[in-house]
Amino acid sequence: MDNSLEKPASGLNRRDLLKAGLILAGGAMLPSACTVAATGSSARSATAKSQVSGRRKLGTLEVSSIGLGVQNMSRTYQTLVPNRAEMHHIIRTAYDQGVTFFDAAEAYGPWEVERILGEAVGAFRNNIVIATKFGWNFDQKTGQRLPGVNSRPDHIKVVVDNMLQRLRTDRIDLLYQHRVDPAVPIEDVVGAIKDLMSQGKVLHYGLSEPGLQTVRRAHAVHPITAIQNEYSLIWRGPEADMLPLCQELGIGFVPWCPLGGGFLTGTIDAKTSFAPGDGRSMIPRYSAENMPHNLALVELIKSWGTRKGATPAQISLAWLQAQKPWIVPIPGTTQMAHMLENNGASAVRFTADELGQFNAEVAQIQIKGERLPQMVLQYSGVEAAPRK
Length of the chain: 388
Q: Report the distance separating Cα 145 and Cα 166, nearest Å.
A: 18
Residues of the chain with confidence (pLDDT) below 70: 1-48, 76-79
Question: How far is residue 19 CA from its own chain's centroid?
Answer: 19
Q: Residue 117: which of 145, 139, 136, 95 has the closest Cα?
A: 95
pLDDT of residue 275: 79
The answer to whether 175 and 204 are in contact (CB under 8 A) is: yes
pLDDT of residue 254: 98
Q: What is the DSSP letter of 275?
A: P
pLDDT of residue 28: 39
As separate numbers, helices (DSSP H) first and strands (DSSP E) second, the chain gives 14, 13
Q: Residue 228: which of 200, 208, 210 has the closest Cα?
A: 208
What amino acid positions are annotated as catalytic residues? 108
Q: What is the DSSP letter of 224?
A: -
The answer to whether 278 and 326 are in contact (CB under 8 A) is: no
pLDDT of residue 49: 77
